[in-house]
Amino acid sequence: MSKHLFPPIVALLALSVLAGCNSSPSDNAAAKSDVGKTITASELASAKNADGVCALDTVDDIENAKSWTVKKSAISMVRGWASTSGKKMPTQFTIVLTAQQAYGFAGKTGEPRPDVAQALGSADLANSGYNFAVDFSNIPTGTYHAFALTSSATGNEICNFQREIVVTP
């Protein structure tokens, strides 16, 4: 991401209130993410740029699109991987959608991604994948830019997926 674009994005995120969620592991292959947790503007404002250490690979099994369209009434599966800039597994991970407001969906890494570990040269990322269901019913229709907000012992980081999600009625 351009150094010129990052400050306005952080400002937008800092001014927005995120509605996040808690996700818990289940016996199913994927956990469901629901709206619930709020992330403060100060958490977002303090997030360091960590572009290049995350990916949103698929939405509803459609791979590597620049933009995905989802129905507001549907629950969609999202898959990808997340890391910290130090090439470690994040302790917390949230997919953030930004437009006029920002919305967050808490996820959990732990899915096998040996390809990521090999590509980034870090065995710590062997299980950096995520795979969970997102309920878009509380998200207003519109076009959203997608980011990953990760937390670790060194603080919060934000990574631009460079992807959009379009929520339709």
Amino acid 31: pLDDT:
61
Residue-wise DSSP of 49-118 = E-TTSEEEEEETTEES-SEEEEETTSEEEEEEEE--TTS---SEEEEEEESSSEEEEEE---B--HHHHH
Residue-level length of the chain: 169
- pLDDT-derived band at 91 (thresholds 50, 70, 90) equals confident
Between 28-42, 93-107, 128-142, 146-160, the lowest mean confidence (pLDDT) is in: 28-42
Mean pLDDT across the chain, nearest whole number? Answer: 81
- List % helix, strand, coil for the chain (3-state, nearest 5): 15, 45, 40
Whether residue 37 is predicted with pLDDT greater than 60 in this model: the reply is: no
Q: pLDDT tens across 112-139, in order?
A: 999 999 999 999 999 999 999 999 988 8
- Provide the residue ranges of all domains of the chain, joining segments of one domain with +: 6-168
pTM across the whole model: 0.78
Distance CA 59, CA 54 (A): 15
Fold of 6-168: Immunoglobulin-like (2.60.40)
